[in-house]
């Protein structure tokens, strides 16, 4: 296929993008995470705090953004983190991952690299051993490479 | 003279320097496996002739592309690996940008990490070199720009969110976030052709080899970084 | 599927150790297309388990929001010598496993 054909197919791809579900305008929906969070927690209250999400403020490329979650927990048999769930406010599939921890973890910290479809807020939900839910988030500005290729 | 690593973010610099987290090391590890596996009708592995790569391949990638005496033509490292497959292993050549070829090339080039790029210009490769230099300076594509316009006259400036680099190939094969994979220097150069809206030469084309030789001469002294990490 | 696991070679009993994993996998989102327009089917490593001498110490359920060639870093308490084994499965049913030994003395 020629470069021209490839270019045309890429341009066609750009125009196909608006067919994806539109992002709700700011103010229209105060919390983009609310419906999914309700589904995950079964409607239980989620308190902000104890969860820290660390990402670069400015990410190089949405294909791979370093992300680390830390939960303030002693990680003992009596008091530990059971799970950490990562949510995106803009990805076509907002549920990115769930990590299951236990007292055997020793430290409530998980790091990975995520895909982010554009600049957005990411949220981490943690469920503790007493059943309580906590959350923390981070804003990520996603930039893209100017040098794409067609192969 | 600045390697491309000097134009990337702290995150990518850390990722390249971390021999575990650097995703390119997955290709290097795969290449190490392939190095020891017999292939083709010859039933030989790379190791059967070349032994321990850390010894035999140290500094080799820094001298490519070069003219292969048997083939009497300019070959890059990928081409040299496929010549070995043909002559010694009697195996089919590995396809351009195949995982196997990228893995072997990355593994071999990794043995030269830290070694300064240094190609020798002589009577054998003079014509290839001159053609490469001419192409580097020739305006091409609908953008009507030459390599030199970005990488000599405009490096350090912004192109959208990108900082234009000096266009050195010393980190390749490299892992590009954009590709979500390791890719060759030819793939990177083809992306430049695409960006200029110019017809992309096919993989292995003489003009890409010529350009690779000119780029290697131009990057002379920069350390090999394979596997580099780029945006 | 090629993978790498990194642990400290030795640890003291009770010490919290860092476990790092990388796996060569494209983590296909299902949103990409071949140049001729055919969709590339979604195929991600959806489940990964880490076991320490057979006992589960970490589990991940992942989607297309995890980057290609996934990287994971987590922690566990060193108890006894042995090995940590990671195993995973993708949407296509391909399974993989990789292990690393650890020596616990003190």
- Residue ranges per structural domain of chain A: 32-142
Domains of chain B and CATH, by start: 4-18+118-230 (1.10.760.10), 24-110 (1.10.760.10)
From first CA to last CA, the distance across chain B in angstroms is 20
**pLDDT tens string B127-168:** 999 999 999 999 999 999 999 999 999 999 998 888 999 999
The alpha carbon of residue A53 is apart from the nearest alpha carbon of chain C, in Å, by: 14
Q: How confident is the model at residue A29 (pLDDT cuts 50, 70, 90)?
A: low
Cα within 13 Å of Cα(A135), Cβ side: 21
Q: Does residue A49 contact residue A134 with C-beta atoms inside 8 Å?
A: yes
**pLDDT tens string A42-70:** 999 999 999 999 999 999 999 999 999 99
User: What pLDDT, on the 0 to 100 scale, is given for residue A145?
Assistant: 77
How many residues in total does chain A contain? Answer: 151
The CA-atom distances, in angstroms, between B113 and each of A70, B41, B116, B226 are: 35, 32, 8, 6
User: What pLDDT, on the 0 to 100 scale, is given for residue A28?
Assistant: 54
The CA-atom distances, in angstroms, between B52 and each of A33, B49, B69 are: 54, 9, 24
Sign, CA dihedral C32-C36-C39-C44, equals negative
B160 CB within 8 Å of a chain A CB? yes
For domain A32-142, the CATH architecture is: Sandwich (2.60)
pLDDT at B28 over 70: yes
The alpha carbon of residue C80 is apart from the nearest alpha carbon of chain A, in Å, by: 12
**pLDDT tens string C18-77:** 999 999 999 999 999 988 899 999 999 999 999 999 999 999 999 999 999 999 999 999
How many residues in total does chain C contain? Answer: 106
pLDDT at A11 over 60: no
The CATH superfamily assigned to C3-101 is Immunoglobulins (2.60.40.10)
pLDDT at A73 over 80: yes
pLDDT at A2 over 60: no
User: What pLDDT, on the 0 to 100 scale, is given for residue A37?
Assistant: 96
User: What pLDDT, on the 0 to 100 scale, is given for residue A25?
Assistant: 52
**Interchain CB distance below 8 Å, A114 and C67:** yes
**Interchain CB distance below 8 Å, A149 and B199:** no
Per CB-CB distance under 8 Å, the chain A contacts of C67 are 63-65, 112-115
Q: Which residue from B minimizes the CA distance to C6?
A: B20
Q: Does residue A123 contact residue A114 with C-beta atoms inside 8 Å?
A: no
Q: Does residue B176 contact residue B191 with C-beta atoms inside 8 Å?
A: no
Best CA proximity match to B121, nearest among B197, B29, B218:
B218
Sheet hosting strand B174-176, strand order edge to edge: B181-183, B174-176, B228-230
- Assess whether B192 carries a catalytic annotation: yes
- Report residue A136 as tokens: 């923390």
Per CB-CB distance under 8 Å, the chain B contacts of C24 are 26-27, 30
- Give the integer Cα–Cα distance in Å for A148 and A20: 22
The CA-atom distances, in angstroms, between C43 and each of A97, B98, C89 are: 15, 19, 10
- Nearest CB to A61 within list B178, B193, B199: B178
Helix and strand numbers, DSSP H then E, in chain C: 0, 8
**Stretch among A25-29, B86-90, B217-221 having the lowest mean pLDDT:** A25-29
Best CA proximity match to C16, nearest among A82, A108, A53, A99:
A108
Chains A, B: CB contacts under 8 A, how many? Answer: 73
Please give the share of chain B, as a percent, with pLDDT higher than 90: 98
The DSSP 8-state label assigned to residue B138 in this structure reads S
pTM: 0.92
Average pLDDT over residues B66-81: 97
User: Which of B21, B24, B26, B30 to mutate to test binding with chain C, by most C CBs within 10 Å of its CB?
Assistant: B26
User: Which of A64, A67, A119 to mutate to test binding with chain B, by most B CBs within 10 Å of its CB?
Assistant: A64
């Amino acid at each position: 296929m020629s470069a021209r054909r490839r270019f045309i197919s890429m341009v066609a791809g750009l125009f196909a993008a608006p067919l994806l579900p539109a992002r709700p305008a700011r103010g229209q929906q105060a919390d983009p995470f609310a419906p999914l969070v309700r589904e995950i927690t079964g409607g239980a209250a989620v308190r902000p705090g104890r969860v820290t999400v660390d990402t670069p403020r400015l990410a190089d490329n949405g294909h791979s953004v370093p992300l680390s979650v830390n939960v303030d927990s002693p990680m003992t048999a009596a008091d530990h983190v059971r799970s950490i769930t990562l949510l995106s406010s803009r990805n076509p599939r907002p549920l990115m991952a769930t990590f299951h921890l236990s007292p055997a973890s020793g430290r409530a910290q998980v790091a990975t690299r995520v895909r982010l479809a554009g600049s957005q807020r990411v949220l981490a939900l943690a469920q503790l051993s007493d059943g309580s839910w906590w959350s923390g988030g981070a804003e990520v500005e996603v930039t893209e490479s100017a040098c794409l290729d067609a192969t | 003279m600045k390697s491309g690593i000097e134009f990337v973010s702290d995150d990518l610099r850390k990722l390249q320097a971390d021999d575990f987290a650097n995703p390119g090391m997955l290709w290097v590890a795969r290449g190490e496996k392939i190095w020891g596996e017999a292939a083709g009708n010859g039933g030989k592995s790379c190791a059967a002739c070349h032994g321990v790569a850390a010894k035999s391949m140290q500094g080799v990638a820094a001298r490519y592309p070069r003219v292969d005496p048997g083939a009497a033509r300019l070959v890059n490292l990928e081409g040299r690996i496929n010549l070995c497959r043909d002559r010694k292993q009697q195996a089919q050549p590995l396809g351009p940008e195949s995982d196997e070829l990228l893995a072997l090339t990355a593994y071999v080039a990794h043995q030269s990490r830290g070694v300064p790029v240094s190609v020798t210009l002589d009577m054998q490769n003079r014509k290839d070199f001159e053609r490469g230099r001419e192409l580097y300076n020739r305006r091409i594509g609908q953008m009507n720009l030459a390599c030199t316009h970005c990488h000599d006259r405009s490096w350090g400036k912004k192109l959208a969110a990108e900082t234009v680099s000096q266009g050195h190939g010393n980190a390749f094969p490299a892992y590009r976030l954009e590709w979500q994979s390791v890719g060759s220097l030819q793939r990177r150069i083809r992306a430049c052709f695409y960006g200029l809206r110019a017809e992309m030469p096919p993989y292995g084309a003489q003009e890409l080899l010529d350009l690779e030789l000119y780029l290697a001469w131009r990057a002379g002294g920069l350390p090999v970084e394979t596997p580099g990490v780029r945006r | 599927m090629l993978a790498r696991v990194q642990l400290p070679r030795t640890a003291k009993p009770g010490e919290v150790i860092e476990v790092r994993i990388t796996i060569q996998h494209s983590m296909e989102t299902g949103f990409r297309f071949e140049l001729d327009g055919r969709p590339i089917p979604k195929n991600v490593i959806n489940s990964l388990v880490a076991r320490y001498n057979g006992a589960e110490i970490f589990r991940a359920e992942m989607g297309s929001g995890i980057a290609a060639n996934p990287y994971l870093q987590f922690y566990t308490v060193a108890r006894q010598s042995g090995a940590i084994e990671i195993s995973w499965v993708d949407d296509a049913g391909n399974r993989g496993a990789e292990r690393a030994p650890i020596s616990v003395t003190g």
